[in-house]
Structure 1
Amino acid sequence: MTRPVAAPFRASFPVRSIEDVKRLEQTPLAEALTVRSTYEIFRNSAAAFGDRTALTFLRTGDPADAPIRWSYAQLLAGIHQTANLLHRLGVGPQDAVAILLPGCLEYHLALWGGAAAGIAQPLNPLLTEEKLAALMTAGRAKVLIAYGTECDAGLWSKALRLRTQVPTLTTVLRVAPHDEAPGSAGTLPEGVADFDALRACEADDHLVSGRDIAPEDIAAYFHTGGTTGAPKLARHSHGAQVFSAFACVKMTGVGPDDTSINGYPLFHVAGVLPASLASLSAGVNMVIPTPTLLRNKQVMANYWRLVETYRATSLSAVPTVLAALANVPLDGADIRSIRYCRTGAAVLPPELAARFERLFGLHVHESLGMTEMAGISTITPPGVIGPPGCVGFRLPYSQIRIVALDANGNASDRELPPGEQGMVLFKSPNLFSGFVDPADTAKAFTADGWLATGDLGWLDGEERLHLSGRSKDLIIRSGHNIDPKAIEDALGAHPAVQLCAAVGQPDAYAGELPVAFATLAPGMQATEAELLAFTAARVDEAPAKPKSVVVIDHMPVTNVGKIYKPALRALAARRVVEALVEEAWAGLDLGPAARPAVQPEGENALRIVIDAAAAGPAAQALQERLSESIGRLPFKTAVVLQ
């Protein structure tokens, strides 16, 4: 059944307060939102905007280079062709279409055509082949759409090897790089086909399947990390994704006069839903800054010139990218077109917020988004000025609660009043449909059906949400909960600090002690002792004063730019273990060859290796000393003789 074309999403009025959010809710959701699927969004946008530019792909980071542009009509035609090709390859509503692509125009055909035919499964190209195979197997992927070159992640080699590792996979579709000469790919292996050549043979004006997509049908599987442990695939319904786009447009007011530069990776909900689907539902011109996006050094170096060239009206990036942009001088670039600057994924450091406003005249508006809520949970709209850590208002038609933590750091059933910090809980039309594994789903919700986010925060008198961190990142010192944000805000205020993070370092007596790690801004210098004294003087609570500040060359980040604290916790643990090893080794007056080696044992453990031949008769004593001292630490460490 073909549903009638409807109007694209557009703002009703500027949202400036919770009263405006409640005013939106005066219209029942069933009347306010009649679009049932992401496919309908693109039909509506193509009807409304036709030849207007939907996607602008930058071949390089040079503002003078001519881009490749697709109109809204071309985008819909490509989505039809892709969905019809996948249908011909046997993809049905329950089959996954895995996507292994960098930033490119075809990503949007794979995402939205994949969701129109089956279930789109975007994958992080930087994951190991083993992780990719596990994720595709868990999602029962039937087709893989992959980039036909190595890029910086060995994409095509991975794709070819994955053919034999995923039992349900029947076809690999090769996407040719934009600069590849026709015919240069040569003969493709059996089971591999040219994506563009095959889709060119398909109808571009309708879905051949005749599928009537329901709001509860699953549109996509998103993995919630994939860097450690077993894969967790979150199931997004069409209705949830549509609501996210609808709510973003209502809250931010984006429309056909806007241009955005979307540097978020498209395997992540932030890049796909708030940044892409919301924009494309409202007629925005969305710029894709080269295949490597904001990891492209030329793009970063020329970012402000790109804003000037394309008259970008919004800037959106995670805090670590904003920190890097703060080091890129304007050099006369005219960025007055930017009307809205926003961030998410991690709490914005106050000093970075102040630096951005001081350097560029841009106030950074924060939002909260998560995979389990189809990419967006709260928004600070344009014109609403909040302090760092304020992530704005709940979405219309959604609910939010703050509850106390129980003894294990989980959500209790005791609701807290405004101003008191606890765990953030949500109910909303864009809640995900659970994980592929029902056991993971059970852990995500409270007994009475609220999503337990794991985020710590509080509501102010204007019903804006303020975040302070993650419950799992709390540093617990002798039973005392320490919020790492207090340390990070203090250290981040030092003018030499670029990025910083505080974590718990294992301790034999206190369980954990607070320590901090920092990177320095280019051209700046500061000693660790100076940074420690600076931070300690600004942290009021005695137990929260850090025991050390360590300067590192590069801050570990995830593939979407969040600071990766597990790596810092492992580094802190290793420093403690190495100090104990040094003490035990020196105490036995052994030669350098007998110094034990400290090696990683996975991500959450260490291994101390003693060379028995080098240590000689003292090897046993050294092992016993180390086993005794290391055994007191709340960190898994094995001591072995070799």
Structure 2
Amino acid sequence: MHLSTTTAVQSLAHIRQIEQTPLDQAIPWQSTYALIAASAQAHAERPALTFLETGQPGGPSTSWTYRELLQKIHQTANALFHLGVQSGDVVAILLPGGLAYHLALWGGEAAGIVQPLNPLLSEEKLLSLLRASGAKVLIAHGDDDDAHMRAKALRLQALLPSLQKVLLVTPRNGPVASPENLPAGVLDFHALVNAEPSDRLLSERVFSASDIAAYFHTGGTTGAPKLARHSHAAQVFTAWANATVQGFQCTDVTLNGYPLFHVAGVLPGALCSLAVGMHVIIPTAAMFRNREVIQNYWRLVAHHRCTLMSGVPTVLAALAAVPLAGADIATLRGVRTGAAPLPPELSQRFRQTLGLHINESLGMTETAGLSTVAPPGMDAPAGCVGWPLPHARVRIAALNADGQATGTELPAGGKGMVLYQGPNLFSGYLDSAETARSFTPDGWLITGDVGFVDEQGRLHLTGRAKDLIIRGGHNIDPKVIEDALGAHPAVALCAAVGAPDAYAGELPVAFATLKAGCEASEAELLGFTAERVDEGPAKPKSITILSTMPVTNVGKIYKPELRTLATGAVVQALVDQACSAAGLPQDQRPRVVAEGDGPVWVDSHGPGWAQVHARLQPLLEALPVKVNIRGS
């Protein structure tokens, strides 16, 4: 039985109707392998995946049918089986986007447990993730190019005795360069895979829905490894529920530019599409990080006659600045975003300039990529992420003064912490203590999102609980500031964070980038924003104009780096205050270091440090954040 859908959901009553069919009847597949195999049987000769080598429409590309995809998944799983991979063994992936990534993902899940790795992470971070998972095999990029993934993979193998095999993948299925010089245990992926039978799984594995399919890294780029375990049932449910609610069809064509180490690219973006027999376009190895792809996006949509598109808000903002230039995008029937709140101004710009309405979704790693969906055709305001998936539930808990969830459930319209229960809840982190902290005593996932449910049962998001700016015990929603500032015609992207303050705890400040060719001063933006923020305490104290906005590897605005910048500005002001009181000239003042998402430092090596230290120390100690003194 393969997945076949009808029309997109348009009411909560429709979702309740879907729920009348027991889940075990609606979803007969015990694994991602079984789901893809069912699609391959139903859609054998339809195109499954097309990889674009360049961002130019009509450029060189490679396509696989569903029959070919399943055959190659069989070969990949069989190669891993012959290397000794069992159902509980971990196969890590360190690859750019491409066709081979899908073999590593779905062949890896058919053989064992996959662990997609972000190739942009530091070697130290990758090492900690591989140690935490105990990965036995690493499937890695085999070309010694600018990405440096091959060299990184070989160093990781040398540092990890538990990493028994490294399988190198080369573009266009070519042989690995200089195989005679490879260390022991490093093998040619394509040579291994091509030697295997393609018609079946040699392991004859019998899957259980509760079997773990994948470990996904979550929780940012710093701190201890935080690996979320996905069962096959959770991933299959996300694919089924997403396709069912949105009415996806086998005739749909989508361009999936999300990175495949991220849950959005793997599950809502890929597995869901494969579940219905959809055609998925992979826009080069760099995906949406490829400027050529962004510049030619609308021409690519027209060339491939795409019916569905999606991207995080920062990607959509970039696409909104790309003119259609005659590209016919009439085939598009759905535009989707998630991962971060959609600015109302961006939603309006898409509608006015492109004639497209953006629908939002809520998902997180811990819910296998999806929790709620605003289906195509739902005309909802920005911030509305739609209804919970069938068989899933959302409730809103009141927040305390620290922005934490309480045991009080709020009625419709009440803003608080979003809690979630559903069949696609993850199987916990590898760290059981971390798992316990993520749930309420009665078993609801604490999502970390702040929002409310309206009278129609739709969830509206306003931000992340950790992003709340807490000024003197007063919770300020940064989205209030961001919506106001983002409405300025010169602003491209913006974000508000809390800057540390000795008296209020935090004060609201904002950062913005400007559209190409536009100009605006801080004073102009401050005045514009203040007029549109009704709440006095929420009016930002400063707005800093940046040349580029810091973003994560999936394109979300990275607020930890903005908080570091905000803290650095506060510390710099205190240093200047202390230096002025000490009569210290500008060229002798201590330097403040505020870089990335790390701690803020004051350099004590300067000649005037002794004169200013006594005045500066109490000012720094009064702040609610730690400021380090370098060299003391």
- Shorter-chain TM range is over 0.9
How far apart, CA to CA, are the structure 2 residues paired with 1:610 and 1:554? 30
Whether 1:315 and 2:309 are equivalent positions in the alignment is yes
Query: What secondary structure does 2:136 align onto?
Result: strand
1:157 aligns with 2:151: yes
Question: Does the alignment pair 1:634 with 2:624?
Answer: yes
Are residue 622 (structure 1) and residue 587 (structure 2) matched?
Answer: no
Contact between 1:605 and 1:635, CA under 8 Å: does it hold in 2? no
Given that 1:96 and 1:121 are in contact with CA atoms closer than 8 Å, whether structure 2 keeps it comes out as yes
Q: CA deviation digits over 1:510-549, x for unaligned, max 9?
A: 1110010000011111001000000001000100011111
What CA deviation, in whole Å up to 9, does each residue of 1:191-240 have, x standing for no partner?
11110111111111111111011100000000014511001000000000
Q: Using a 3 Å threshold, how does the CA distance of structure 1 residues 252 and 373 change in structure 2: closer, same or farther? A: same
Q: Secondary structure at the match of 1:281?
A: helix
In structure 2, relative to structure 1, the CA distance for the partners of 1:226 and 1:478 (3 Å cut) is: closer
Distance 1:418 1:638 in 2: 45
Could you say which residue in structure 2 is the equivalent of 1:414? 408
Residue 446, structure 1, aligned to residue 432, structure 2: no
2:543 paired with 1:549 = yes
Secondary structure (helix, strand or coil) at the match of 2:627 reads strand
User: Does the 8 A contact of 1:594 with 1:610 survive in 2?
Assistant: no
Deviations 1:68-105 (A, max 9, x none): 00010110011101111111111111110000011110
Counterpart of 1:628, as a letter, is P
Identity fraction in percent: 57
1:281 and 2:269 aligned: no
| CA distance in structure 2 between the aligned counterparts of 1:600 and 1:300, rounded to whole angstroms | 31
Which stretch of the first structure deviates more once superposed, 533-542 or 224-233? 224-233
Which residue is 2:223 aligned to?
Answer: 229
> 1:641 offset after TM fit, Å?
5.6
Deviations 1:399-446, CA, capped at 9 Å, x for gaps: 111111134322211110001101111110000000011011001111
Say whether the 8 Å CA contact 1:170–1:191 is kept in structure 2.
yes
Deviation readout 1:526-583 (Å, 9 max, x if unpaired) = 0010000000010001000111111001111111111111110110000011111122
Residues 100, 145 of structure 1: 8 Å contact kept: yes
Residue 352 in 1 paired to residue 346 in 2? yes
* Higher mean C-alpha deviation, range 218-227 or range 348-357: 218-227
| 1:74 matched residue in structure 2 | 68
Residue identity matched to 1:500: C
Q: CA deviation at 1:152?
A: 4.8
**Counterpart of 1:636 in 2: which secondary structure?**
coil
How many residues align structurally?
631
Q: Is the 8 A contact 2:55 2:296 kept in 1?
A: yes
Contact 1:343/1:365 (<8 A) preserved = yes
2:593 counterpart residue number: 599
Instruction: Tell me how far apart the structure 2 counterparts of residues 171 and 551 of structure 1 sit (CA, whole Å).
Output: 48
TM alignment of 1:164-183, pairs within 5 A: 164-178=158-172, 182=175
Amino acid at match of 1:201: A
Q: How do 1:445-484 and structure 2 match up within 5 A?
A: 445-484=439-478
Spell out, residue by residue over 1:348-378, the C-alpha distance to the aligned partner (whole angstroms, 9 max, x if none). Answer: 0000000111111000000001000000000
CA drift of 1:190 comes to 1.8
| Superposed displacement of residue 189, structure 1 | 2.6
- After superposition, the Cα gap between the structure-2 partners of 1:183 and 1:641, relative to the gap in structure 1 and judged at 3 Å, is closer
C-alpha contact 1:400 1:426 (8 A) present in aligned 2: yes
CA offset at residue 13 of structure 1? 3.9
Match of 1:304 among 275, 290, 298: 298
Q: Which residue of 2 aligns with 1:402?
A: 396
- Which consecutive unaligned segments of at least 5 residues does structure 1 have? 1-5
Task: State TM-score, norm by structure 2.
Answer: 0.98
Distance 1:306 1:151, change over 3 A: farther
Please show how residues 31-70 of structure 1 align to structure 2 within 5 Å. Answer: 31-70=25-64
Look up the SS of the partner of 1:457 in the other structure.
strand
Identify unmatched segments of 5+ residues in structure 2. none
Q: Distance in 2 between matches of 1:185 and 1:290?
A: 26
Distance 1:409 1:499 in 2: 26
- Indicate which of 410, 430, 435 corresponds to 1:436: 430
1:201 counterpart residue number: 195
Measured in 1, the distance between the counterparts of 2:176 and 2:85 equals 27
With normalisation by structure 1, the TM-score equals: 0.96
- Verify the 8 A CA contact 1:131 1:226 in the aligned structure 2: no
1:608 aligned to 2:598? Answer: no
2:502 to 498, 503, 508: 508
Residue 605 of structure 1 and its aligned partner are, at CA, apart by 2.5
Please give the secondary structure, in 2, of the residue aligned with 1:164. Answer: helix
Conserved? CA contact 2:142–2:176, under 8 Å: no
| Cα deviation, residue 322, structure 1 | 0.4
> In structure 2, how many angstroms separate the alpha carbons of the residues matched to 1:152 and 1:395?
42
Contact 2:579–2:589 (CA under 8 A) maintained in structure 1: yes
Cross-structure match for 1:110: 104
362, 378, 381: which one aligns with 2:356: 362
SS class of match (2:600): strand
CA shift, 1:177, in A, is 1.6
Are residues 416 and 151 of structure 1, via their aligned partners in 2, closer, same or farther at CA, if it must alter by over 3 Å?
farther
Identify which of 5, 12, 19 aligns with 1:18: 12
In structure 2, what residue type is equivalent to 1:302?
Answer: N
CA contact (8 A) 2:175 2:188 kept: no
Q: Name the aligned partner's letter for residue 346 of structure 2.
A: L
1:394 shift after superposition: 0.5
Superimposed CA distance per residue, residues 243-277 of structure 1 (whole angstroms, 9 cap, x where no aligned partner): 00000110111121100000000011100000100
- In structure 2, do the counterparts of structure 1 residues 520 and 74 end up closer, same or farther at CA, with 3 Å as the change threshold? same
CA distance in 2, matches of 1:575, 1:110: 45
Aligned partner of 2:580: which letter? A
Give the C-alpha shift of residue 151 in structure 1.
5.0
User: Which residue is 1:585 aligned to?
Assistant: 579
Question: Amino acid of the residue matched to residue 114 of structure 1?
Answer: G
Q: Indicate if the aligned counterparts of 1:503 and 1:565 stay in contact, CA closer than 8 A.
A: yes
Of residues 488, 498, 508 in structure 2, which corresponds to 1:494? 488
The aligned residue for residue 3 of structure 1 is none
